[in-house]
Amino acid sequence: MCGIVGLHLRNPDLHPRLGEMLAEMLGEMQDRGADSAGIAVYGNRAWAPPGHGCISLLELDVLPDEVSATLGAALGVPVAAQTIDVTLVASAPATADELLAAARAAYPNALVAGFGSDLTVLKGVGAPRDLTESWGLAAASGWQGVGHTRMATESAVTSSGAHPFAVGPEQCLVHNGSFANHATIRRELRAAGVEFDSENDTEVGARFVAHQLAAGKDVETALKEVCANFDGFYTLLVSNRDSFAVVRDAIACKPAVIAETDDWVAMASEYRALAKLPGVENARIWEPEPEVVYAWTR
C-alpha cells in the first residue's frame, strides 16, 4: 500500500501556493506509506531557475560548494548547488543534458534522482510530514507537483528507492501497486540498451515509459503500451513539464480519485488528500476507469 498525490495548476494565481497544497496532500497520505517519500516540483525558481538545466543527486557525500566548483569548472559557467535534506540540487545556465553529463563524469557513483528544466526531485526516508518540513515544501511555488508515500514491498527502504522515479528529462512516475512481470520487461529493456539503477519494479515502469517517449510516442500512447505489456495491479501518475496523466490496470483494485476545476486538476489515492484544495466543493470528481488514460497538458 502506497499513497499517490498530484496537482496540476491551471490558474497562475495559485502558483505561489503549490508547495503548501502539495505538502497538505502528501501528509494526508502518510498512513498509506510512512517509511519514505518523494516529490517532484515543476517551476520552483528557488530550486530550478528559469532557463537553467537542473539536476537532483542522491548518495553523494560531497559539500555543495565543492560540487559548484567542480561542475562549474567542467561547464565553464556558474553552478549553484544546495543540499535539501539528503538530496543535492544543482542548476546552471546550461542545458540539462550538459549538466547531467558533467555530474556523471565527476560523480559516477551518485544516483541521478531527476533532471531537466524547471524540475526538482527530492526524496527521503522517514515520515512524509517530517520530510515535507525538512524540505521546506510549503514555501515552494510552481505549476505542477507530484508526490508519493511508500510502503516498501519490492526493494529496500532507502532514499533512492523512494518515488518518484525520474529517469527521462522532466519526466516522473509514481506508482501504487506492483508489477508481476517486471523482471521480464527489465531484461527486454536491458537488451535494448536501457540501463537501470536498482531492482525496484517501479523503475522498470519508469524506464519503459521513458523508452516509449524517447521513441517519439506521446504520453497517452506510452501508457497504453504499459497496459498492454505489464501484468499486475497498479495506479500510475506520469508527469513531465507539459503533461499530467493517470492510468490504472484492468482490474483497478488500487484506489484513485481525480478532481478537476477551472483552476486545477488533482489526483490522489484517496479523496481526503483533495479535501482542502481551494474550490474542491465545485470540482468534478470521479474514479478513473480501468485502462483508460486520463491526460492533461499545459
Determine the Cα angle at 59 with ends 55 and 60, to 5°.
70
How large is the angle between the packed helices 96-106 and 64-75, nearest 10 degrees?
120
Q: What is the DSSP string of 205-224?
A: HHHHHHHHHHTT--HHHHHH
Residue 2 bears catalytic tag: yes
Residue 291: phi and psi, rounded to 5, are 55, 20
In the beta sheet, which residues pair with residue 89? 56, 82
Catalytic residue among 2, 54, 172, 253: 2
- In 228-276, DSSP assigns E strands to 232-239, 243-248, 257-260, 264-268
Longest distance between any two alpha carbons in the chain, whole Å: 53
Grid look-up 521480464 returns 184
Short-list 52, 48, 40, 43, CA closest to 167: 40
Alpha-carbon distance of 209 to 48, in angstroms, equals 24
**DSSP label at 187?**
H
Give the residue numbers annotated as catalytic, written as ranges. Answer: 2
